[in-house]
Amino acid sequence: MELSAQVTTLTAPAQGLITQSEFNISLDIVASIQIFVSVFGLIANIINIKTFLAMRAFGDGVTLTFLLLSVSDLLVCFHSAVICIGTFLVAQESKWHSQIIGGETTRHNFPVDPIYAGIFGLNMCQVFNLFTILLTVYLAVARCLCVMYPLKFRNIITVRKTLLVSAIFIVTSLGIRLPLITHGGVSLNFDPRINATRYTFWMHPNRETIKDMLWISVDAPVCVGAQVVLSFCIVMMAKVLKAASKFRTKTSIANDSKLDHSNSKQKFSPKDARIVKQLVLVSSIFIICNTPKLITFLAATVEPNFDLGRRYQKFYQISMAIVVAVDTINSSANIFVYYFFNSKFRRILTNTNSAD
């Protein structure tokens, strides 16, 4: 389910739920939002990387995971910006083509089909988005272990293990998308849309089949599985922290008979509460940002015409553009989680800004 649908869209007449003009306007709106979020995400993740390096990330497994997650999010935002550029150029060339059909004589065309920028960006965006999902789950499990086994945590999540797991994740993410990437490319061909020869994107006949197989075997299970794991971590952490809080409360009451009764109702210490809130927020952002993707893929499965080269292909493309934009938001929002729920991150970031 790719942005490559635009190859078919530009050569086919307007059809389906929306017209070509509505399609161009919709892409402009989504791309405008996406480019803003992408630029913000680039800046935010550069700040994250700089701060985690100042926190000596290579000396702690959890901090190192935060650093690698920020690098992955940075690459997601960068390739999302590439998609935006490709989308703007495709829409612009489509407008030029519409003006020519309307009777204007001036013809403007790009020497390379601009759709390829969007296709390349989307392919790479999916690679690093999968890497981000896997790292997010790994981080959630690490946080859960931190609460369940605090004395053994540093022995369980070490820098060496984090690097090894991350290497496996990135190789897996790239390897899964490699068949899709290699079944398309750019070559010099005659483009009937502009009645001229230029470099255009080509797709292997089996590419759509590979894409659908990836969705069934990888994308859907990973998205659903990640949400289940994150939810499980939240429940387990809440149970452990609640039990620990009850134990501390009973001990305090036994040692201090003058303890105010209202304090015995406290279920979490401030630090424990921040840990749970951080996981809840990360999980909530992930679930919200993955919901449009699941809905779009489900719609394509239920409705055969909601796909490439079919009746609702323009509406499908807009839906996929929204999915990419929301994925970019997911990769841009973590700086707020780090700032409000990681006191060391906030302190170093504040001190760095004060020094500057």
Please, are residues 122 and 83 in contact by the beta-carbon 8 Å criterion? yes
CA distances from 33 to 41, 265, 324 (A): 12, 45, 11
Question: pLDDT of 206-232, one tens digit each?
Answer: 877 888 788 788 887 888 888 788 888
Instruction: Identify whether 115 is part of a domain.
Output: yes
Residue 160 has pLDDT above 80, yes or no: yes
Instruction: Identify whether 106 is part of a domain.
Output: yes
Task: Give the domain range for residue 120.
Answer: 5-215+305-355
**3-class DSSP state of 290:** helix
Q: What does DSSP say about strands 196-203 and 184-191: parallel, antiparallel, or unpaired?
A: antiparallel
Amino acid at 112: V
Give the model's pLDDT for residue 227: 79
Instruction: Identify whether 228 is part of a domain.
Output: no
Instruction: Identify whether 284 is part of a domain.
Output: no
Instruction: Identify whether 9 is part of a domain.
Output: yes
User: Side-chain half-sphere of 291: how many Cα atoms within 13 Å?
Assistant: 6
Give the model's pLDDT for residue 4: 40
Please, are residues 175 and 167 in contact by the beta-carbon 8 Å criterion? no
Instruction: Identify whether 243 is part of a domain.
Output: no
The rounded distance, in Å, linking the Cα atoms of 53 and 50 is 5
Percent of the chain with pLDDT over 90: 14
Strand ranges for the chain from DSSP E: 184-191, 196-203
Domain with residue 166: its CATH number is 1.20.1070.10
Instruction: Identify whether 296 is part of a domain.
Output: no
Q: Which of the four pLDDT bands, split at 50, 70 and 90, describes residue 9?
A: very low
Give the model's pLDDT for residue 263: 44
Number of other CB atoms surrounding residue 236 within 10 Å = 15
**Ramachandran angles phi, psi of 98, nearest 5°:** -65, -35
Question: pLDDT of 88-111, one tens digit each?
Answer: 787 777 666 665 554 554 556 777
Instruction: Identify whether 98 is part of a domain.
Output: yes
Domain tally, the chain: 1
Residue 71 has pLDDT above 80, yes or no: yes
**Ramachandran angles phi, psi of 112, nearest 5°:** -125, 135
Q: Which of 55, 48, 121 is nearest to 88 (CA)?
A: 121
